[in-house]
């Protein structure tokens, strides 16, 4: 499954829900890149300035960093969060899946208007080790600035600034949004098993999870 949507639409939160609900592996390229950066790997260091500016990290770096993770978790079913982000990556993913005799079953599009995204992103706090995210206003942690599960400190992402967000939204519109058309066409092809599911993700996280579970249930297929 691929989770598609602009920054702040709740991909990470819903991926965590789906992981628990359906036993899928959550692969977030943003988390993989932040982890590579924290470990000081060559790929992480190269990715740093692109991420800080809200730009896409070059495909060669992303594809290298994700292909191993995808291959190692491919058997059990997985949720891709933040990948693919452009047509080139989508084609690379199609090829990788085809090589392994697999195909995507769902592309879930989480739709949220830009003004809601800005409010969400500007108050976001994250727990780096797990990727869990909170919001100072809408979804505060039980203890201020501490992760509910581990009690560890929460941080603000360096790219969660208004300036970087403007860039990230622009990049989403120009490079990622065309994937909706790509997957829509794929889903209409003869014998395609792919379903494109659109969810109104401007609602609260629990309501979005409820709608997502209903849309993915076998009875709605
Ligand atoms: P995210 O956590 O998904 O919001 O990603 C944070 C940042 O990591 C993005 O703004 C990009 O700079 C980089 N990134 C994550 N996934 C990708 C990808 N598939 N392709 C290129 N850059 C990515």
Dig out the tokens for 122 from the structure: 């500007």
Query: CB of 66 within 8 A of CB of 90?
Result: no
The minimum-distance atom of ligand 1 relative to the CA of 53 is 12
157 is catalytic: yes
Closest CA to 107 of 38, 161, 176: 176
Q: Which residues are within 8 A (CB) of 39 and not within 5 positions of it... i.e. 6 or more apart? A: none
- Residues with CB under 6 Å of ligand 1 are 7, 29-30, 33, 50-51, 54-57, 62, 82-83, 85, 89, 159, 168
Omega cis (within 30) before 84? yes
| pLDDT tens digits, 82-101 | 999 999 999 999 998 888 78
Instruction: Give the whole-angstrom CA distance, residue 154 versus residue 126.
Output: 5
pTM of the model: 0.89
Dig out the tokens for 19 from the structure: 């992981």
Percentage of residues in the chain having pLDDT higher than 70: 98
156 is catalytic: no
For ligand 1, atom 5, name the residue with the nearest CA: 30
Facing residues of 26 across strands?
79
Confidence at 191, pLDDT banded by 50, 70, 90: confident
């Amino acid at each position: 499954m691929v989770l598609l949507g602009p920054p702040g639409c709740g991909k990470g939160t819903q991926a965590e829900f789906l992981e628990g609900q359906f036993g899928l592996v959550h692969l977030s390229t943003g988390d993989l890149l932040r982890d590579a950066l924290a470990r000081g790997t060559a790929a992480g260091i190269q990715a740093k300035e692109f991420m800080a500016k809200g730009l896409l990290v070059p495909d060669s770096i992303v594809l290298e960093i994700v292909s191993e993770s995808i291959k190692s978790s491919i058997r059990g079913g997985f949720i891709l969060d933040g990948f693919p982000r452009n047509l080139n990556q989508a084609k690379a993913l199609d090829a990788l899946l085809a090589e392994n005799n697999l195909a995507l079953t769902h592309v879930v599009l989480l739709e949220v208007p830009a003004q809601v995204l800005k409010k969400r992103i500007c108050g976001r706090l994250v727990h780096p080790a797990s990727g869990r995210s909170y919001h100072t206003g809408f979804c505060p942690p039980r203890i201020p600035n501490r992760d509910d599960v581990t009690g560890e400190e929460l941080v603000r992402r360096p790219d969660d600034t208004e300036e970087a967000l403007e860039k990230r939204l622009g990049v989403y519109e120009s490079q990622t949004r065309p994937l909706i058309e790509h997957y829509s066409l794929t889903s209409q092809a003869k014998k395609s098993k792919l379903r494109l599911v659109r969810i109104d993700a401007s609602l609260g996280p629990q309501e979005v999870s409820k709608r997502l579970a209903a849309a993915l249930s076998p009875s709605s297929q």
